[in-house]
Amino acid sequence: MSILNLHEAIRSLVPAGITHHRGQAPATAAAPWIVTGFNAPDITTSEAAQGISKTGTLTVTVSTETEDATNFWTEKTDDALLGVAPVLAGWSVGALTPGDRVGPYPAGMTATDTNLRFQVARLGYRFTYSRTA
């Protein structure tokens, strides 16, 4: 099992009912959508300098046409992710906890039908993990 399997297990927790893109949304994406990505992990070491666990961060970018809709999908995403510990054979994974957050704010992109800027929020979810097999 690779780290990509772990990433997919975590991504599977994202709420249904909104388009989910991995890495980035295509230029033709229609709001609302969520984009997920993972930051490079921090490594926790023991006193003997042995790596004992890693801390990963899932970044979720919520893009909608209104501030209210962005806040709605932010709450739905929190409900789906916060406190959940993904289960995957070969891995020990801690519960997702809140990380850095920004938004909602007007993005540089505009909706073609309204010419208004998309409203965006970037949400971070931290988790610890280590291999068990």
* Longest pairwise C-alpha distance within the chain: 59
Give, in degrees to the nearest 5, the angle at Cα 112 between 71 and 25: 60
Residue type at position 77: T
Query: Is 115 a residue whose pLDDT tops 80?
Result: no
Task: Tokens for 93, please give them.
Answer: 């994974």
Average pLDDT, stretch 7-28? 91
What's the token pair of residue 81?
């992710």
| Average pLDDT of the residues of the chain | 86
pLDDT tens readout for residues 79-104: 999 999 999 998 999 999 999 999 89
Question: Contact 73/81 with Cβ under 8 angstroms?
Answer: no
Q: Of the CATH numbers 3.40.50.2300, 3.30.2000.30, 3.40.50.720, 3.30.70.3400, which one belongs to the domain with range 3-131?
A: 3.30.2000.30
pLDDT at 103: 87
